[in-house]
């Protein structure tokens, strides 16, 4: 005899340890960093219990200890969930637009999001050319010397920007890298005013990038769309046209996400 299927209203017994671990992960995901005492209070668990969970998550690569004995979630959860990226609104909205832009410009398209003091690629459309930049989904990059990162920095509050750059040394990766906060702040102000960022061989010699912000329905910048060119294919004469195309594509994605200027 076939077993009777459980009713939809039937309660499945929950594994308490799993519930508590997920509560820790969810709370970590809601803030850039959080202290043990605050985390314990928020999820209503004893500090020794929460601390053991954090040590376990750290050992497994899902959490990291930040400065001042605070804790943060890592991107391992992204790696675990990357197979479901196509079902996420941002990814689903961006991919067809990015593919059209790649077809039009012929170059590598990326979308990046903020993760702590770095940006991370969450989407890549390959260039049609054999000579192209090396990158991969999940790769991290500095905020201060990339088009993707500078856009994300530009639209932060001063407090958010200070937190993202706290402890980050503005190293001269190339001769064009911005290495002072004063110069960086001036550049970020220009990015907010004009609505796009340039990376003129600041992260890698011979590589040019243009990035534009993607906004959600609340008007917050949730990602950056960028296009990358090797120097020998980057024509300065039509830079304005390239910028317009990148900005228009980012605006289309923003519109799909519900943003209204």
Q: DSSP state, 3?
A: P
Do 16-74 and 82-256 have matching folds? no
Distance, CA of 37 to chain centre? 28
Is the backbone of residue 118 left (phi > 0), alpha (psi -120 to 50) or beta? beta
pLDDT of 32: 86
Domain boundaries, the chain: 16-74, 82-256
Structure-block tokens of residue 202:
């600041």
Helix and strand tally (H, E) in the chain? 9, 9
- Residues 13-57 have pLDDT tens digits of 778 888 999 999 989 988 889 999 999 999 999 999 999 999 999
Would the pLDDT of 132 be above 60?
A: no
46 vs 131 pLDDT, higher one: 46
- C-alpha 31/C-alpha 37 separation (Å) is 14
DSSP helix, strand, coil percent of the chain (3-state; round to 5): 45, 20, 35
E strands present in 129-236: 140-142, 197-200, 207-215, 221-230
Neighbours of 57 (CB within 10 A): 20
Q: Tell me which CATH code domain 16-74 carries.
A: 1.10.10.10
Q: How many CB atoms lie within 10 A of CB 98?
A: 23
- Is the Cβ–Cβ distance between 211 and 147 less than 8 Å? yes
Task: Give percent of the chain above pLDDT 70.
Answer: 86
Q: What is the mean pLDDT of residues 62-82?
A: 82
Residue 133 has pLDDT above 60, yes or no: no
What tens digit of pLDDT does each residue of 161-204 get? 998 888 888 889 899 999 999 999 999 999 999 999 998 888 88
- Asked if 197 contacts 211 with a C-beta cutoff of 8 angstroms, the reply is yes
The domain 82-256: what is its CATH number? 3.30.450.40
List, in order, residues 6 or more apart from 133 with CB less than 8 Å away: 108, 127, 204, 207, 228, 230
By three-state DSSP, how is residue 124 classified? Answer: strand
Rg (CA), the chain: 21
């Amino acid at each position: 005899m076939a077993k009777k299927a459980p009713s939809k209203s039937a309660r499945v017994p929950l594994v308490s340890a799993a519930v508590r671990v997920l509560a820790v992960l969810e709370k970590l995901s809601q803030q850039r960093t959080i202290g043990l005492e605050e985390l314990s209070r928020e999820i209503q668990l004893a500090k020794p219990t929460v601390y053991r969970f954090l040590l376990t998550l750290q050992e497994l690569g899902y959490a990291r200890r930040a400065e001042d004995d605070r804790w943060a979630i890592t991107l391992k959860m992204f790696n675990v969930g990357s197979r479901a990226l196509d079902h996420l609104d941002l990814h689903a909205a961006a991919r067809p637009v990015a593919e059209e832009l790649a077809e039009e410009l012929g170059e590598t398209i990326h979308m990046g999001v903020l993760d702590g003091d770095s940006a991370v690629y969450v989407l890549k459309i390959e260039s049609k050319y054999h000579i192209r930049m090396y990158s991969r989904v999940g790769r991290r990059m500095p905020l201060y010397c990339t088009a993707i990162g500078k856009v994300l920095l530009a639209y932060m509050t001063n407090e958010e920007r200070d937190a993202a750059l706290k402890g980050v040394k503005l190293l001269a990766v190339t001769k064009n890298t911005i290495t002072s906060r004063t110069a960086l702040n001036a550049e970020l102000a220009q990015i907010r005013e004009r609505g796009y960022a340039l990376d003129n061989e600041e992260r890698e010699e011979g590589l040019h990038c243009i990035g534009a912000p993607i906004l959600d329905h609340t008007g917050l910048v949730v990602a950056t769309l960028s296009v990358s060119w090797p120097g020998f294919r980057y024509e300065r004469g039509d830079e304005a046209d390239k910028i317009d195309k990148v900005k228009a594509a980012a605006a289309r994605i923003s519109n799909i996400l519900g943003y209204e200027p």
